[in-house]
Amino acid sequence: MVIISLYLKIEILTMKYYLNKIGEGWKYIPKEEWDKKTDYERLYNRIQRREKKIKSDFEKLKKLKLELKEWKKERTIKYNELIKYHKDISPTISITFSKKRKRRVTDGSTKYNSVNIFETNGNQSWSITMRIKGVLKNIYIGTTKNIGIRLDELEGNEKWREGVYKDLLPRKNKDHEKMIKDRIKELVTPNIIKELVENRDRYGNVDEFINRKGIKGMEYLKEAVYPEDSGF
């Protein structure tokens, strides 16, 4: 570094690291110092290029951020245009199973029922419970027996043959209950949404469906017809 100090001037005070020539250029520099000079200039040039790239990328980044900001504004506008429609035709649907026992009074006492009262197995009925536009709506489907028959028909099991669903015991077996519940929801959900879409297109809202009385849930318990199948 003693030799470098004789021939080179490094502008450290101003934080400019460019090497200035002194005298007759670099011809008096020994090879060892020349190699150091070459390595230094190579590093110096890399730093210069990287600083230029960072500056250029920073300008691009500012432009991209502004563009992204505009996109987000547009997204919000389009989302708000769609959210009303989305809320109308995307209800929360669940299937409920009623298995509450009921008390029944007989006409007279018997040897095994001296108090003249006994509990039944309940009606074991299934319903669709749905929330749409803040309104809770319940739609009765049918009893376990009738639903089992319908599901077996959809599976291709004839009434007079041994079925799958009609032999299940959801009142006693949780797995059976879940099996029926999942299959019902799988079938009724697309059919309900399809009707909501039709109502929305026809009336501009789904109020007619919400206010309608006596909807038969069993009518939704069928294979769904999707737009690609129906030619829509």
- The strand pair at 103-105 and 9-10 is best described as unpaired
Average pLDDT (73-92) is 74
Residue with token string 């007759």? 24
Could you give the CA distance from residue 89 to residue 3 in angstroms, rounded to a whole number?
A: 83
Question: Phi and psi of 88, rounded to 5°?
Answer: -65, -40
Residue 132 forms beta bridges with which residues?
Answer: 135
Residue 37: predicted pLDDT: 80
Number of other residues whose CB lies within 10 A of the CB of residue 147: 25
pLDDT of residue 176: 92
pLDDT at 53: 92
The domain spans of the chain are 2-85, 91-230
Kindly indicate the confidence band of residue 70, based on its pLDDT and cuts at 50, 70 and 90.
Answer: very high
Order across the sheet with 92-98: list the strands: 92-98, 125-132, 135-143
Average confidence (pLDDT) over 162-180: 86
The mean per-residue pLDDT over the stretch 17-27 comes to 54
Structure confidence at residue 181 (pLDDT): 92
User: 20: pLDDT confidence band, cut at 50, 70 and 90?
Assistant: low
For helices 174-203 and 31-89, angle between their N-to-C axes, nearest 10 degrees: 80
pLDDT band at 183 (very low <50, low <70, confident <90, very high): very high
3-class SS of residue 103: strand
Q: Which of the pair, 43 or 87, is modelled with greater confidence?
A: 43
pLDDT of residue 205: 83
- Partners of 126 in the β-ladder: 97, 142
Distance of CA 142 to the CA centre of its chain: 31
Distances (CA, A) of 54 to 39, 43, 58, 144: 22, 16, 6, 70
For 58-73, the DSSP string reads HHHHHHHHHHHHHHHH
- Measured between alpha carbons, how far is 82 from 77 in angstroms, rounded to an integer? 9
Report whether pLDDT(4) > 60.
no
Q: Residues 6 or more apart from 162 whose CB is under 8 A from it?
A: none
pLDDT band at 89 (very low <50, low <70, confident <90, very high): low
**If you average pLDDT over every residue of the chain, what do you get?**
76
- Identify the DSSP state of 44: H
pLDDT confidence bin for 207, thresholds 50/70/90: confident
Position 121 scores a pLDDT of: 53
Check whether 184 has a pLDDT greater than 90.
yes
For residue range 111-167, list pLDDT tens digits in order. Answer: 555 544 444 455 688 999 998 888 889 999 999 889 998 998 888 776 656 668 888
- Asked if pLDDT for residue 27 goes beyond 80, the answer is no
Cα 165 from Cα 171, distance rounded (Å)? 13
Q: Per-residue pLDDT tens for 90-107?
A: 788 999 998 765 554 445
Per-residue model confidence (pLDDT) at position 118: 44
Tokens for 147, please give them. Answer: 């639903």
